[in-house]
Structure 1
Amino acid sequence: MSRRFGDLRQIGIVVRDIEAAMKHWIEVCAVGPWFYTDKLALTEFSYRGTRHDDIHVSIALANSGDVQLELIQQRCTTPSMYRDFLAAGHEGMQHWSSWPVDYDDRLLQAVRSGYVIGQHGDSARGRFVYLQDEGHPGTVIEMAHMTDARRRIFDAIRAAAVDWDGSDPIRRQWPT
């Protein structure tokens, strides 16, 4: 557990081909089922202080135990930390995420201690922020506000992974 951000809950993996990545996790690692959305519905997205309303990111979520895996493929040229990561020649773990209920307090503490907001956004599920201080690839820190809506979705994804028998490996709709 991070005293500053809370429990590590998710590993964010930026990929160039989300379909191939899901296939790998299903066939090689036997992790699933994956809950996929072609375009993450966001009500707001900003990168380095500039708002962008046209970002198109595909997301797939699955759990292995209590840790959630998030596959991310950006499908547009909108500036983002995902594009920066790929442009630097990386592919794979880009961030780890905590899901604090006390999101505002933890974000304020992080900013006061020197972290810089790289990108942030909002959705019907709640707000999220990526802090820019990356010591090496894969160490960006994301916080996602644990709202009731997010909790319901994430609990259902975790429950689907328990005793998953390999059937229906890619579900093209998130739980509600």
Structure 2
Amino acid sequence: MASCSSPLPSRIFRGWNAGSTAAASPSRSARPRHGGPVKPPLLRYPVRQTAFVVPDLESGIAHWVRVMGAGPFVVMRDFVGIDLTYRGEPSDTAVDYAFGQCGDIQVQLIAQPGPGRSIYRDMYAPGEGGFHHMCALVPLEDWDSQVAAFADAGYELAASLTTSAPVVYFDARADLGCFVELYGHTERSAGFFAELRTLHEGWDGVTDPVRARVPRNQEAS
């Protein structure tokens, strides 16, 4: 792998010469054109978490600790949540979660050991894994408006549940290649994000990379 001081391979520069100052600025015809006024994005709040399906939590955590320096990970087993729905129908599909911090963003790892329909099986068969969704914390005073914005734009409500706050998942795979999670911003949900950041900042990268946690009222992100 090239170091930070090494010249970048020329193949990554799409259509311009890295050694030419004049070519570094795209031509007028190459710049994006807007056909009308710029509309604000549907998502009004920053992405705070990226989530990945893994075949099993143990190997997934080990890879994220070794490769990315993420962690330590807080693990929750057999999580269902309250009033879980999948595609508008009640669901009792249980999953295993692991949450850890990686720099400025939280990472969630998800494994589904047993059978059952879920938004995770919508993308990955047993034994498979990869990127699944992004999560934003939405203030409760703007919750209905933010949820309606995604629904009105045509994104299907794929799953919903309640933890320490309301949670919904919209299927945005046609446009983004993933799901979008909206998670209610409460003192307790924000506190969980802060807790993981504090654990990460005080961690030596080696000691106790896995921290078990018994879900309180099935609370998780």
State TM-score, norm by structure 1: 0.89
Corresponding residue for residue 211 of structure 2: 171
The one of 132, 146, 170 aligned to 1:106? 146
Cα deviations across residues 10-64 of structure 1 (Å, max 9, x unaligned)?
1010111111000111123221110111122511111111011x22110000112
Alignment: residue pair count: 173
Report the residue type matching 1:47 in the other structure.
Y
Q: State whether structure 2 residue 157 is matched by structure 1 residue 131.
A: no
Q: State whether structure 2 residue 101 is matched by structure 1 residue 63.
A: yes
Change (3 A) 1:89 1:141: farther
Aligned identity (percent) is: 28
1:1-176 equivalences under 5 Å are 3-5=41-43, 6-52=45-91, 54-87=92-125, 91-101=129-139, 102-123=142-163, 125-135=164-174, 138-166=177-205, 167-173=207-213
8 Å CA contact retained: 2:55, 2:126:
no
**Distance apart, 1:174 and its partner CA:** 6.6
1:14 & 1:157 partners in 2: Cα distance? 19
Question: Per chain length, whose mean CA-contact separation is higher, i.e. which structure has more relative contact order (CA < 8 Å, sep 6+)?
Answer: 1
1:41 & 1:86 partners in 2: Cα distance? 19
**Distance apart, 1:168 and its partner CA:** 1.5
1:135 & 1:12 partners in 2: Cα distance? 18
1:174 & 1:26 partners in 2: Cα distance? 22
**Distance apart, 1:146 and its partner CA:** 1.2
Report the residue type matching 1:107 in the other structure.
V
Equivalent residue of 1:10, what SS?
Answer: strand
8 Å CA contact retained: 2:70, 2:103:
no
8 Å CA contact retained: 1:94, 1:137:
no
Aligned-pair Cα RMSD in Å: 2.2
State TM-score, norm by structure 2: 0.72
Larger radius of gyration, structure 1 or 2?
A: 2
1:27 & 1:174 partners in 2: Cα distance? 25
2:62 & 2:73 partners in 1: Cα distance? 10
**Distance apart, 1:105 and its partner CA:** 1.5
Cα deviations across residues 49-87 of structure 1 (Å, max 9, x unaligned)?
1011x2211000011222110000112222111011113
Specify every segment of 5 or more residues in structure 2 that has no aligned partner in the other structure, as ranges. 1-39, 217-221
Equivalent residue of 2:159, what SS?
Answer: strand
Write out the 4+ residue segments of structure 1 that deviate beyond 4 Å after TM superposition.
Answer: none
Equivalent residue of 1:36, what SS?
Answer: strand
